[in-house]
Structures are given as structure tokens and as C-alpha cells.
Amino acid sequence: MNSYSQDTTKLIIPDTTDFSTMSLEDLIKLKSTYKSTELEKLINQSIEVASRKPLSLKKSPSIISVISSDEILKSGARDLIDVLNLVPGIQFNVDVSGSIGISIRGLWAQEGKVLILYDGQEMNEIDYGSLQFAQQYPINQIKKIEIIRGPGSASYGGFAEYAVINIITFSGDELNGLHINSTIGQTSTVMSQQNLNISYGRKIKDFNYSFSGFVSRGNRSNLKYTDIYGSSYDMSYNSGLSAVDLNLGVSYKGLSLRIIKNNLYLKQRDMFSEILSKAYNQNFISNSFELKYQKQLTNKFQLQIKGNYKNGLPWYTPKVMDSTSGYYDYRVYTERIKGSILGNWDINRVLNVTFGFESYIDNAKKLDNLKFRKDSTLSVQYVNYAPFIQTLIKTRFANITAGLRYDMNNSYGQSLNPRLGITKKIGKFNLKALLANSFRAPCIENIQGSLNGNIKPEKTHTYEFEVAYQFRRNMFFTLNVFEIETKNSIRYFYSFDSIANRVVEGYTNATSLNENVGLEFEYKYKSEKGYISLCYSYYDALNSSTALINNTSVIGNANHKLTLNSSLNLSNHFYISPSFSYLSERYGYSSLDSNGDGIISKYPSQFQLNINIGATELIKGLNINFGVYNLTNQRIQYIQTYSGYHNPLPGMGREFILKVSYLIHHKK
């Protein structure tokens, strides 16, 4: 226990993790005698992603990483892939048609297994449940990102099986004026990206508003892609990316409105296994609306009523009659209407209960009079109901969080998802023991594309244990171990039926288990001189419904991952930020044998070194960053993690990045 002196009287300062339980009077007394370090502010901030009750990072009943706006800015991150690459256990892989998906702890999680919340709005499209990772989010507008590296279904339902990524942008009072951000990226052969983000926000008494407009264009890669049949093309002019993101937030007292338009447009030739004769459009259109009312009815009870609506055109393509891959056409309009009511009751200082009910309706319609495969109809509808409850018990022994969510769907039936979390502080150690069930809900095309017309939700059991230790006020580490077991995995398959002379593809439940064990390590140091964040993660595949290599690896994902993100303040106005990421050797498809079966080959380890140099307040409000990504010009590979016969898609080579921002603040 550290002690600090003021005048002649020594004052014993309690550990900062107990600040949330102190009275207002005690906090006021400490205000003039104790100042939290930057690291303590980070680990003791209130977060809600892991629990509907705001808790500090140490007390939240999940394994959590938090990335601040300062870390995002100084790292020189180009997009969300760069930011999430700093997190243990996260890797990225190619899916199909130029799209990049996410893996968690060695498990492919692209479709419906990871939930992304963007200012509270679900960014998963509901047709397949997939996520896209390109240049569609305004990185400079992000205040922080909270990541649950583990299940979240007990709170969020069927898109949160393996992880939750919560993106929070700056509010109107935090912006307090006009922010202009521009980024230009260039390789030796092609423009990698150009984007412009303009944000404005302000708070006037109880009225708080913000608006952000973001446009971007760029390319996925400047290297050559070769498919499994040996055909190649230069991606420099065949992998275009462009995006539009509009984000409006308005609040008045307890009433708030959020509107987000997020559109991504891809150019792609890689298709499934065989490349196309030229690049075609692959578009993802998304619109989200939320109206929320929150009221503190008494000093112990808070009520929240929320309505959400979103629509979209995911995987939207024009009619394509291609000489190499035949006819390809996909146009489906989707929408989700969701409502929820939530009560948060502080019964006493020991017990908190959160309870509520959520329901949504999913609608989908095939355009141009096309029909869904299973039902042979132009449109389909699915309805889901979910009551939930969570209790938080604070005892002298430990904090105990117990929760339960029960989902009922008119298509795939029921899913019961309990969770239990125990957090305990012993001196400078903080311990977490976590147990949770989660599930991945079949989406519209999973149901319609199932082989036998009946697909089940996949279910996961996760066991986690974490120990954290705070060496000093500006230094701490966490180490966690996990075991994940998934039954009835929803698997996409794609093959050629030589007898019927046609491609066969769809979804089915795997009969074997997916079972991974592993560990994750994070070390953080942060002071006025700068920061260091060192992360390592490892998984061991005990069983897999996809290709299991050497009894430890699954196809596409490296067993070992190591990342470093650091920054050194050279002066009050200049800093330098080196970073790197390392992936151990991986396995993936490379070619076909004489029988037409895919050959799995070993791909070498991958090392990416980056450096970013920044200058702040050169003149009032002006900030400049110059960086080099992939300094050693390594071949970055996105390897497919299932039997889709898609060869590794290359990423960008060496890239030079210039970022300029200008801020005009209102006087407070």
C-alpha cells in the first residue's frame, strides 16, 4: 500500500479499483491528494460491454481489452484490421469475393460468431451474420474500443458466441467543435487509400449532438493473387475499396437518437475458388436507426426502453455472366425490427439486479423475383423472443455475477445461455474465474441453404481464468487461460459434383466438436513519456470440424501470435511509435492434386513492422502523422480457414501513410 503526504499529515490512499464503491464525500476528500496515472484511468474506467451494470475493467466479468483513442492515433492504424491486430487472439482470414473475416482464439468467427457494436448499433448483416473489414470505419473518430475476448450471448444473443467488439465514437460534448481528418496512403505501384472525415459536435445545456461524415477509397492489395488452378491477376487494379459512413447522434436529457449509414463497395475477382475474367462489384449497404429513452425513476431503479431498426443489401452483386465461373447473381433486401425494455435495480450496496425482455423480427426479400432455396418463396420472416436476467453480488470474499438469457425462435427453437463470473482482489492481484454458455443463431441464408432443410444453432461452452497484477501505478499485466468447446458448428461447404456437373454449396451442422485451449498475455506500461503494450496469444486445437494439422493447428490460423504497440514522446509536440506483429507458420490450400482434391501446404511465419511519427499542435489545432506500414515489404497473407479451396489472398506491401487533422474547438 503506497502512502502520500500532504502538509504534515499522511493520508493512506486505497487501491484505485475501490473508487467505484466510495462515497461522493470520500472521493471529494481524495481529489486534492491523489491523481490517477494514465494507466489507472484506463483500467479503472467504467465499461458496460461485459455487464449491463457499469464496472471497472478489473471487476467486469469477462476477459476484456480496451484500446484508447490515443493508442489508435499514435499507432498510425489505417483501418479496423490494424487496430484489432493489437489484441491477443485475433487474426484475419480471407472468406470469399474479396472479403476479409475474423478469427478468435484459433476459431473462424466471420459469420455470426462475433458481434460488432458501433455506437450501440449491430453491424453484423442478418442474411449470413457476417462482418466486413476494410476501410469503412472512421478510425480518427473512435474514442475507444472495448473487446470481450470470450462469450457474450448471455447479454447480446446469437451474434456474440465468441467475442464482442464495442466501438464508441466521440460524443458532441467531447468533440466540442469541428474536427477534420484526412489520410493518404501510397505504395510503390498503386494508391492504397484516400479518406476524409469531418466531424462536428457540441453540447448546449441538456442538448447534446454530433455528426460525422466519412468517405474513403483505396485498394486491398498491390500484389499478385494466384488461385488454386494456377491462374493469376494483379490486385493493384482489381481490388478497389470505397466506403461511405454517416453517423448522427442526438440526445436531450434521457431521450437519444442514433442514425448510421455504413456502405462498403468492393471490387473483386477472386470469387470462391476460381478467379473471374474481370473485377466485379461486391457491395454491402447498411442503415441503422435507434431511439432510446432512459430514466432514473428512483435513486435505486433505472428504466431503459429502446427501439432499433436496420435494413441492408449485404453481398449485393449485379447480374454476372462470367466466362470462367458462370452465372453469379445475388440481391437480397434484409431488415430487422427490434425492441427491448431493461430495468436496473440497485437493491442495496451488496445486490444489483438487471432484467428485461428483447424481441426482434427479421425479414428478407429476394429481388428480381428470385426465390429462396428452402421455402421457394420471394420473402421469409423469422421472429425471436428473449427474456434475460443478471445479478451482481458484492461480498467480502468476491464479486459474483450470474446471468441467464433464454432465446426462443420460430425457426430453430430455443437456446438457454447461463453465465457465471467471479472476480476477486488480493493485494495487487486481481483474479477472474468465468464460465458461460453461448450460441450462434442460424441466419436467413444458413436456414435456406441447409442441406436437409433443418439446421440447428451451434452451442459453445467456455471456461476462462485470468490473473492480473499491477506492479506499479503505471504498469500491469494480465494472463488468462481458456477452454472452448463448440457443438453443432454451422459450416459452409463448397464442392464440385462431377456426376451432376455442377457446384454444390450450402450450410450444415458439423458432426465433430471444435475444441480449443490456450492462453493470452498482455503487458501494459503507460506514463507521461509514452506507453508499451506487449501481447502474446497461443491456441492448441484439440479437436476441429475443419482440417486439423499436426493435432494442434487448424487450417488458416497461426498457433502463436505476438504484437508490440509502443510510443515514445520525444518532446511536448513530437512522438515516435514503432509496432510489429508476428504470426507463426500456418497451413492453407495451394493447389489441386490429380484427383481434383485440394492440397494443403505450409506457409512461412509472417512478420510485419510499422513505424509512425507524429507532430501535435504545430500550430493550434494542427496534428500531422507520417508512417510506414509493412516496412520490410513482407508478403502479408490472409489464409482461408475452411474447405472453400480459396488460396491465400495477399495484403498490401510496403505502404507510406500521411495523416493530417485540424481541430477547431468552441470555448467551453
Please give the full DSSP string across 194-220, using - where no structure is assigned.
EEEEEEEEEEETTEEEEEEEEEEEEES
Least confident of 150-159, 450-459, 526-535: 450-459
Q: Which residue has the higher pLDDT, 563 or 156?
A: 563
Q: Which residue has the higher pLDDT, 119 or 14?
A: 119
User: 283-301, pLDDT tens digit by residue?
Assistant: 999 999 999 999 999 999 9
pLDDT tier for residue 18 given thresholds of 50, 70 and 90: very low
**Mean pLDDT score across all residues of the chain:** 87
Task: Region of 506 please: left (phi>0), alpha (psi -120 to 50) or beta.
Answer: left
Least confident of 231-245, 317-331, 422-436: 317-331
3-state secondary structure at position 660: strand
Q: What are phi and psi of 40, to 5 degrees?
A: -65, -35
Arithmetic mean of pLDDT, 227-247: 92
Arithmetic mean of pLDDT, 323-343: 82
Q: Give the angle subtended at the CA of 598 by the CAs of 596 and 599, to the nearest 5°.
A: 120
**25 within a domain of the structure (yes/no):** no
Least confident of 205-219, 315-329, 501-515: 315-329
CA dihedral sign, ordered 477, 482, 488, 491: positive
Spatial neighbors of 332 by CB under 8 A, at least 6 apart, are 127, 313, 314, 315, 316, 364, 365, 366, 367, 444, 445
Arithmetic mean of pLDDT, 159-165: 92
> What is residue 483's predicted lDDT score, i.e. its pLDDT?
95
pLDDT tier for residue 16 given thresholds of 50, 70 and 90: very low
> What is residue 299's predicted lDDT score, i.e. its pLDDT?
92
- CATH label of the domain that carries residue 484: 2.40.170.20
Domain that holds residue 475: 36-665
In contact, 442 and 483? CB cutoff 8 Å: no
**262 within a domain of the structure (yes/no):** yes
Helices (H) and strands (E) in the chain, counts: 7, 44
Arithmetic mean of pLDDT, 267-296: 90
Nearest-CA neighbor of 522 among 565, 479, 585, 563?
Answer: 479
User: 48-103, pLDDT tens digit by residue?
Assistant: 776 667 777 777 888 889 999 999 999 989 999 999 999 999 999 999 888 999 99
**326 within a domain of the structure (yes/no):** yes
**1 within a domain of the structure (yes/no):** no
> What is residue 509's predicted lDDT score, i.e. its pLDDT?
86
Spatial neighbors of 520 by CB under 8 A, at least 6 apart, are 63, 88, 89, 105, 149, 478, 479, 480, 482, 535, 536, 537, 538
In contact, 265 and 285? CB cutoff 8 Å: no
Distance between CA atoms of residues 543 and 532, nearest Å? 35
Number of domains in the chain: 1
Residue 563 has pLDDT above 60, yes or no: yes
> What is residue 383's predicted lDDT score, i.e. its pLDDT?
95
Radius of gyration, CA atoms only, the chain: 25
Task: Region of 556 please: left (phi>0), alpha (psi -120 to 50) or beta.
Answer: left
**24 within a domain of the structure (yes/no):** no
> What is residue 4's predicted lDDT score, i.e. its pLDDT?
38
Distances 354 to 344, 346, 387, 625 between C-alpha atoms, Å? 4, 9, 11, 44
Residue 161 has pLDDT above 60, yes or no: yes
**539 within a domain of the structure (yes/no):** yes
In contact, 607 and 634? CB cutoff 8 Å: yes
User: 308-332, pLDDT tens digit by residue?
Assistant: 999 999 999 876 656 555 556 788 9
At position 667, the amino acid (one-letter code) is K
pLDDT tier for residue 374 given thresholds of 50, 70 and 90: confident
> What is residue 153's predicted lDDT score, i.e. its pLDDT?
84
